[in-house]
Amino acid sequence: MKTITSALVAAALALPSFGFASTAFVPPAPEIAGKAYYLIDYNSQQVLAARDPDSRIEPASLTKLMTAYLTFKALKEKRLTLEQTLTVSQRGWKTEGSRMFLDPKVPAKVEDLIKGMIVQSGNDACVTLAEAIAGSEDVFAQVMTQQAQKLGMKNTQFKNATGLPHEGHYTTVHDLGILAASLIRDFPEYYPIYSMKSFTYNNIQQPNRNLLLYRDPNVDGMKTGYTDTAGYNMVTSSHRDGRRVISVVVGTASPEARAVESSKLLNYGLQFFDTPKLYAANARVSDVSVYKGDAKVVPVGFASDVYATVAKGQAAKLKADMTTTQPLIAPIKAGQVVGKLVVSLDGKPLLERPVVALKAVDEGNFFSRLWDSLKLLLGWK
């Protein structure tokens, strides 16, 4: 392995331009009146506060974040279209709990079903979409669980598309944080639906149950949930000054409580932390020597932007160490992982990201490969 010095991060940061506050004081996370909570910075993926993040909880209608994810995925893959109409089954029509009041005699547009699912939390919309995508809600639930595993939600299992109580239907606040961030990242074109304050269908207007949409101009989503056994749950996203934080609060006592407790977490994350961009996606950070290739070096960097979340005033203390695989032997594909970056603060690792080749390097000719083989054998550089 070859280590590239931490001076690289100083150049990338352009520290004087940030104008951070001089203080680095970060108080403890606020007391949250709920069963569990989780607060994450969207850009850096760093956890800012948590309590019982991996304890199993009943998600209630937060389940619909995954129902929406798979619906958006079906749209992206052109298995559904927004203008397409779907027949409402008897099962969908009769699903209990919150609903958008579908009529089994009137086909519903996919676009309306999505808004009914997100804004009105319609269980009838969820079942209708699930049946259209997977043939049945039971099969759809299996696909939901498979997708959860792909996203890294290791402690989640779905049994339905709605979040109605069901044995074996569970998740964690950690996993819900992963899901919320994935939904925003993978389907930004549909995320604005989560900021809609009301939706009217079948001449029935229903308000969005996310009270923070009406109170905080920085909040632009995401989803509420409630059952007698789960209590009042909410996943919320807030953005300010180029930053976005996502909170998950579950098991509160009332709709007001879940809004107040979520607001505490969001404001804590936005007030006491900063998230500078350290490196831009696909930007050359360094050149690394290549053996047996048609080029002697390959530019390396990162497949996505690299951010770090730190207490205000602490960015100047960030240090980075980048190690690359040695010897690096062609052929090398563009995007191939060739090392890792570790960013630390006060000697403690803060985040780790893979370093990738920004260009492909093919094998060199016979003579160059032979010469590099000799160099490697003799330990020459």
Catalytic positions: 61, 64, 121
Residue 320 contacts residue 9 (beta carbons within 8 Å)? yes
How far is Cα 78 from Cα 75, in angstroms, rounded to an integer?
A: 5
Find out whether the peptide bond into 354 is cis, omega within 30 degrees of 0: no
Spatial CA neighbour of 362 closest among 325, 327, 332: 332
Sign of the torsion formed by the C-alpha atoms of 170, 235, 264 and 256: negative
State the virtual CA torsion across 93, 99, 105, 109 in degrees, nearest 10.
Answer: -120
- The DSSP bridge partners found for residue 337 are 356
Query: Going by C-beta distance under 8 Å and a sequence separation of 6 or more, which residues neighbour residue 228?
Result: none
SS3 annotation, 133-181: HHCCHHHHHHHHHHHHHHHCCCCCECCCCCCCCCCCCEECHHHHHHHHH
Burial class (CB in 10 A: 0-12, 13-18, 19+), 51: middle
Strand partners, 342: 321, 352
Q: Which of 34, 28, 29 is nearest to 249 (CA)?
A: 34
Residue with tokens 């974040």: 65
Residue 305 to residue 301: CA distance in whole angstroms: 10
Please name every residue paired with 343 in a beta bridge, in sequence order, or none if there are none. Answer: 320, 351
Question: In terms of DSSP H, where are the helices of 168-254?
Answer: 173-186, 212-215
